């Protein structure tokens, strides 16, 4: 009667089974930290009088949020991270040429089904797309995790998002997630695991599933998770060099709640300022003038996202009142986008292409918004001031909606583009 999350936590705490609300001490399989939290995490470990990480092969630091550094403060932080990585003799360290942590971690084979993964970044839940229990933790908890290889967890209840049917033309996994946010609310899944199931999910690519799991945190979730299948195994082939044991929910697993999504009837969705659950069908907000479009981030910076934008923009020009910033999530994505002429198509349309990084998403170094400006973004958050001025406005959408809107200068239904 157990969910995937319950089974993984039970196995890692060496118990036959666990129940929601139970506190367990579980073994960590891998831990990672972006620059913004890495130094804090290691200082927390040192404060616990622990001098070395529990396993130098299973801990890594990635410099992605502000890459390259844009000021002395960031440069100093990057320098400290590099020094820590050397001092700790970490086997894996990813510098500013590596890309977004949540894209790099699976690409480099650090994620596999059935594992327990922690990251000092809230969107660590992305990796649940591979059938792992992956969750973001704070720097103090990370200090304990990297120092001991173990951490306390409260076993979460699980909410099932059951999406059935075939998505319509230019309706994407981002739309499924935004619809779920509308139904559950920004705190509707607080400390719950979101288990994505149904024929729609089975039809989705790995990248699309990563989009779903990535934004579980935006509903308050502890993690998002999908059952592994052949698509998962195909992605991991040649990346993960050891055996793993996939974990599946029992047919009689107990869920706190089930959310039903009729995918065939789903319209493109848009999250309006300044909350991720302020979601409306695109037909209710079309016509809203925009100044900037961002296509990228750990949510939608994969090849299929950039390709969708290129398909819509091919042979056309971005509206004169709009600037478009596209950022591949990793060098692997960038190379593939160049090979398929996606980058050329986007540039021919007038887009600016940035190096693989978090880029515009959190207003760190690219595409800062001025007061009064409006952004349509494929990223995960639209809080006030998220991408620049506190007097700017951020709408969230799929890459299809973002690309179609870039051509018209106003929020546009991509099915009509």
Domain that holds residue 350: 270-412
| For range 59-69, the mean pLDDT | 93
Confidence of residue 371 (pLDDT cuts 50, 70, 90): very high
Residue 228 lies inside a defined structural domain of this protein: yes
| For range 279-297, the mean pLDDT | 97
Residue 286 lies inside a defined structural domain of this protein: yes
Q: Give how many domains the chain has, as a whole number.
A: 2
- Beta pairing class for 23-27 and 150-154: antiparallel
* Residue 173: CATH number of its domain: 3.30.499.10
Among residues of the chain, what percentage have pLDDT more than 90?
A: 92
Domain check: are 274 and 324 in the same one?
yes
> What is the SS3 string spanning 78-114?
HHHHHHHHHHCCCCEEECCCCCCHHHHHHHCCCCCCC
Confidence of residue 414 (pLDDT cuts 50, 70, 90): very high
pLDDT number for residue 363: 78
Domain check: are 237 and 291 in the same one?
no
Domain check: are 41 and 167 in the same one?
yes
| For range 311-339, the mean pLDDT | 97
pLDDT number for residue 34: 95
pLDDT number for residue 90: 98
Point out the domain boundary residue: 211, 235, 261.
261
Other Cβ atoms within 10 Å of 116 Cβ, number: 23
Other Cβ atoms within 10 Å of 21 Cβ, number: 10
Residue 417 lies inside a defined structural domain of this protein: no
Query: What value, to the nearest 5°, has the Cα angle with vertex 74 and ends 68 and 75?
Result: 70
3-state DSSP assignment of residue 303: helix
pLDDT number for residue 1: 86
Residue 36 lies inside a defined structural domain of this protein: yes
d(CA 222, CA 135): 6
pLDDT number for residue 12: 98
Q: Say whether pLDDT at 301 is over 80.
A: yes
Domain check: are 294 and 226 in the same one?
no
Higher pLDDT, 349 or 66: 349
Q: Say whether pLDDT at 349 is over 80.
A: yes
Point out the domain boundary residue: 202, 236, 261.
261
Average pLDDT, the chain: 96
Query: What value, to the nearest 5°, has the Cα angle with vertex 249 and ends 302 and 129?
Result: 10
Q: What is the pLDDT of residues 1-44, one digit of tens each?
A: 899 999 999 999 999 999 999 999 999 999 999 998 999 999 99
| For range 352-360, the mean pLDDT | 89
Domain check: are 363 and 239 in the same one?
no
Domain check: are 246 and 337 in the same one?
no
pLDDT number for residue 64: 87
- Per-residue CA distances from 26 to 14, 91, 133, 141, 376 (Å): 8, 23, 11, 13, 40
Q: Which of 299, 296, 298, 379 is nearest to 342 (CA)?
A: 296
pLDDT number for residue 152: 97
pLDDT number for residue 360: 86
End-to-end alpha-carbon separation of the chain, Å?
46
Q: Say whether pLDDT at 358 is over 80.
A: no
Any bridge partners for residue 258, and if so which?
Answer: 160
Point out the domain boundary residue: 239, 261, 283.
261
Beta strand extents in 8-132 (DSSP E only): 23-27, 30-34, 59-62, 92-94, 116-119
Q: What is the pLDDT of residues 212-221, one digit of tens each?
A: 999 999 999 9
| Tokens coding 339 | 């090979």
| For range 248-254, the mean pLDDT | 96
d(CA 307, CA 350): 15
Domain check: are 191 and 227 in the same one?
yes
- Per-residue CA distances from 249 to 106, 196, 274 (Å): 22, 11, 35
| For range 179-206, the mean pLDDT | 97
Confidence of residue 45 (pLDDT cuts 50, 70, 90): very high
Domain check: are 335 and 238 in the same one?
no
Q: Say whether pLDDT at 387 is over 90.
A: no
165 burial class (0-12, 13-18, 19+ CB within 10 angstroms)? Answer: middle
| For range 63-88, the mean pLDDT | 94
Residues 6 or more apart whose CB falls under 8 angstroms from that of 226 comprise 128, 129, 130, 131, 195, 196, 197, 201, 209, 212, 213, 232
pLDDT number for residue 366: 82
């Amino acid at each position: 009667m157990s969910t995937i999350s319950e089974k993984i936590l039970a196995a890692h705490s060496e118990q036959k089974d666990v129940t929601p609300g139970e506190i367990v001490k579980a073994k960590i399989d891998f831990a990672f930290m972006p620059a913004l939290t890495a130094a804090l995490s290691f200082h927390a470990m040192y404060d616990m009088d622990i001098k070395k990480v529990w396993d130098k092969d299973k801990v890594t630091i990635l410099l992605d949020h502000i890459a390259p550094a844009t000021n002395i403060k960031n440069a100093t932080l990057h320098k400290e991270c590099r020094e820590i990585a050397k001092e700790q003799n970490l086997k894996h360290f990813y510098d500013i040429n590596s890309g977004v942590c949540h894209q790099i971690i699976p690409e480099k084979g650090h994620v596999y089904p059935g594992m327990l993964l922690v990251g000092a970044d809230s969107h660590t839940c992305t990796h649940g797309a591979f059938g792992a229990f992956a969750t973001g933790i704070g720097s103090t908890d990370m200090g304990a995790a990297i120092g001991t290889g173990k951490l306390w967890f409260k076993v979460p209840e699980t909410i099932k998002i059951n999406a059935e049917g075939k998505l319509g033309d230019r309706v994407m996994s981002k739309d499924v997630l935004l619809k779920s946010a509308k139904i559950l609310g920004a705190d509707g899944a607080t400390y719950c695991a979101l288990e994505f199931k149904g024929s729609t999910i089975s039809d989705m690519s790995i990248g699309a599933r990563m989009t779903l799991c990535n934004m579980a945190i935006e509903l308050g979730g502890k993690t998002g998770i999908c059952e592994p299948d052949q698509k998962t195994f195909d992605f991991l082939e040649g990346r993960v060099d050891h055996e793993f044991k996939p974990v599946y929910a029992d047919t009689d697993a107990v869920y706190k709640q089930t959310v039903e999504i009729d995918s065939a009837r789903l319209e493109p969705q848009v999250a309006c300022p300044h909350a991720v659950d302020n979601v409306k069908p695109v037909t209710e907000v079309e016509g809203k003038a925009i100044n900037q479009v961002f296509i990228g981030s750990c949510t939608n910076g994969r090849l299929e996202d950039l390709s969708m934008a290129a398909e819509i923009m091919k042979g056309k020009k971005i509206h004169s009142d709009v600037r478009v910033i596209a950022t591949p999530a990793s060098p692997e994505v960038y190379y593939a986008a160049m090979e398929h002429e996606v980058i050329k198509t986007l540039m021919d349309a007038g887009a600016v292409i940035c190096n693989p990084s978090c880029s515009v998403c959190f207003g760190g170094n690219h595409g800062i918004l001025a007061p009064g400006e409006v952004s349509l973004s494929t990223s995960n958050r639209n809080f006030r001031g998220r991408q620049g001025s506190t007097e700017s406005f951020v709408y969230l959408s799929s890459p299809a909606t973002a690309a179609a809107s870039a051509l018209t200068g106003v929020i546009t239904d991509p099915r009509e583009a």
